[in-house]
Amino acid sequence: MKKILVVDDEEKIRRLYSNLLETEGFKVFETSNPIDANEILKRENIDLVLLDIRMPEVDGGILYETMQLFHKQTKVVVTSVYSLSEQKQVISGAASYHDKSEGNEILLTKIREVLKDGKA
């Protein structure tokens, strides 16, 4: 069973993604901040992180940089209200990018592609 970590400061988004992913058969972890996310990444063998960019205290870009040092094997899909081009400027090198306005079916497609091939 693939493990996905949802990192988003909005509880509504975390619950939505968690419910969606659990229904699809994934084991889901969630947290509202990158500091706790890093602790989860240390304890669990996470396959994929859904990462918001803009969060209080520490933004998603900092977590991504940390992951590149210590959790490079874990794939990242950036999920944000920013446009895809803005997301790529803030966090370059993620496996995929998702504008939250694109909807959940597109997100699921990107997640499946990234977990299968490594890039979407």
Q: Residue-wise pLDDT tens for the chain (120 aa)?
A: 999 999 999 999 999 999 999 999 999 999 999 999 999 999 999 999 999 998 888 889 899 999 999 999 999 999 999 999 999 999 999 999 999 999 999 999 999 999 996 555
Residue 41 and residue 65 in contact, taking contact as beta carbons nearer than 8 Å? no
When divided into structural domains, the chain yields a total of: 1
Q: Count other C-beta atoms under 10 Å from residue 60's C-beta.
A: 28
Range of the domain at 74: 3-117
CATH code of the domain covering residue 67: 3.40.50.2300
pLDDT of 20: 96
Cα 95 from Cα 47, distance rounded (Å)? 12
Please return the burial class of 26, using the count of CB atoms within 10 Å of its CB with bins 0-12, 13-18 and 19+.
buried
Q: What is the pLDDT of residue 119?
A: 57
